[in-house]
Amino acid sequence: QVQLVESGGGSVQAGESLRLSCAASGSIFSIGTMAWYRQAPGKQRDLVARISSAGSTIYADSVKGRFTISRDNAKNTVYLQMNSLKPEDTAAYLCYVVVDRVYWGQGTQVTVSS
Q: Any residues with CB less than 8 A from the CB of 41 and at least 6 apart, and which?
A: none
Each residue's pLDDT tens digit, 63-77: 999 999 999 999 999
Measured over the CA atoms of residue 68, residue 98, residue 46 and residue 17, the dihedral's sign is negative
Kindly state the average pLDDT of the residues 87-92. Answer: 98
CB 62 within 8 A of CB 79: no
pLDDT given for residue 29 in this prediction? 86
pLDDT, tens only, 18-77? 999 999 999 888 999 999 999 999 999 999 999 999 999 999 999 999 999 999 999 999
Tell me, what's the pLDDT at 19?
98
Q: Is the separation of the CB atoms in 18 and 82 below 8 Å?
A: yes
Residue spans of alpha helices (H) in 1-114: none
Question: Torsions phi, psi of 101, nearest 5?
Answer: -155, -175
Closest of 37, 20, 31 to residue 55, by C-alpha = 31
